[in-house]
Amino acid sequence: MGIPVHGSLRDGLTSVTRRRTDDLPPHVKGRAYFRELPRSPGGRPNANTGYWIDILGPDGQKTHELPLEFVTTDELGDRWATITFEANHWWIPSEANLAPTNNPDLGWWTTDDPQHPNYTPPVIAAAAAPAPIFHAPAPAPAPMATPAAAAAPAPVNGALRGLPPPIFDGDRTKSVGFLLAFHLYKFTNRGHKAMTNPATRTTTALSYITGPLVEV
């Protein structure tokens, strides 16, 4: 997400705090790159640590570089901004220093990102209730019947064993890990009633899916 910038950029210099870690995805950075410089002997961060972009001349060669920060403004939301260092602090000079979201050299959110205005959370449908099972009455035993084959062991009841999967809150970057963890949990409890029955297995999985990004 962007660094919050409060107040109107139309009023002139607006203070901004520069981030100290490279925490933006590549498609948001575009050609911007993160430069981490050594701290001072006293442990203070270097003021020039942050995002930069190289400015190229007509021949494609670097002519100079500009400091940048990805910010969230009150008026225009998330934008890249060119910043300036004055009086031992970083500033956005004006609204004209904000790059448009379609800038060819700087990236922005895609519609798969929750930060995008048109993002639509994935919908996870609830499992349908299982249909009732009809049990026909058992026929009377015939005389001189041959011994029946040994019945399969009954499903195990009681508490489930092993490490349960982590709660899946709808973040699709964690969906593969959640599915793998649940498959391992299902295998550990493969003889348990909660896993041998498809309906109870589905409701067991759904019990680990909850959060603000999940719509039921």
Can you give 119-143 as a three-state secondary structure string? CCCCECCCCCCCCCCCCCCCCCCCC
Q: What pLDDT is recorded for position 19?
A: 93
d(CA 19, CA 67): 12
Task: Tell me if 181 is assigned to some domain.
Answer: yes
| Domain membership of residue 205 as a residue range | 121-131+156-216
Does residue 127 sit in the same domain as residue 215? yes
Q: Which residue has the tokens 């299982």?
A: 130
**AA identity, residue 131:** A
Dihedral of CA atoms 95, 97, 99, 104 in degrees, nearest 10, equals: 160
Say whether pTM exceeds 0.75: no
Does residue 37 sit in the same domain as residue 125? no
**AA identity, residue 215:** E
Does residue 69 sit in the same domain as residue 126? no
d(CA 130, CA 125): 15
Q: How many domains does the chain have?
A: 2
Distances (CA, A) of 188 to 46, 105, 165, 179, 203: 51, 50, 12, 14, 17
Under 8 Å between Cβ of 92 and 81: yes
Q: What pLDDT is recorded for position 117?
A: 82
Does residue 24 sit in the same domain as residue 65? yes
Does residue 88 sit in the same domain as residue 13? yes
Does residue 93 sit in the same domain as residue 13? yes
Task: Tell me if 211 is assigned to some domain.
Answer: yes
Q: What pLDDT is recorded for position 215?
A: 67
Task: Tell me if 141 is assigned to some domain.
Answer: no
Does residue 212 sit in the same domain as residue 126? yes
- Identify the domain boundary among 97, 112, 141: 97
Q: Retrieve residue 186's tokens.
A: 């299902």
Does residue 85 sit in the same domain as residue 125? no
Task: Tell me if 71 is assigned to some domain.
Answer: yes
- Identify the domain boundary among 81, 97, 113: 97
Q: What pLDDT is recorded for position 38?
A: 93
Q: Spell out the per-residue pLDDT of the chain, length 216, in tens.
A: 899 988 788 877 899 999 999 999 999 999 999 999 999 999 899 999 999 999 998 998 999 999 999 999 988 899 999 999 999 999 999 888 999 999 989 999 998 899 888 888 888 877 667 777 766 677 777 666 565 555 555 667 778 888 888 888 888 888 877 887 788 888 888 888 888 888 988 988 888 888 887 765
Does residue 85 sit in the same domain as residue 173? no
Angle among Cα 188, 194, 197 to the nearest 5 degrees reads 110
Does residue 80 sit in the same domain as residue 169? no
- How is 38-50 classified by DSSP, letter by letter? PPPTT-PPPTT-E
Task: Tell me if 86 is assigned to some domain.
Answer: yes
Task: Tell me if 111 is assigned to some domain.
Answer: no
Does residue 163 sit in the same domain as residue 85? no
Does residue 91 sit in the same domain as residue 9? yes
Task: Tell me if 169 is assigned to some domain.
Answer: yes
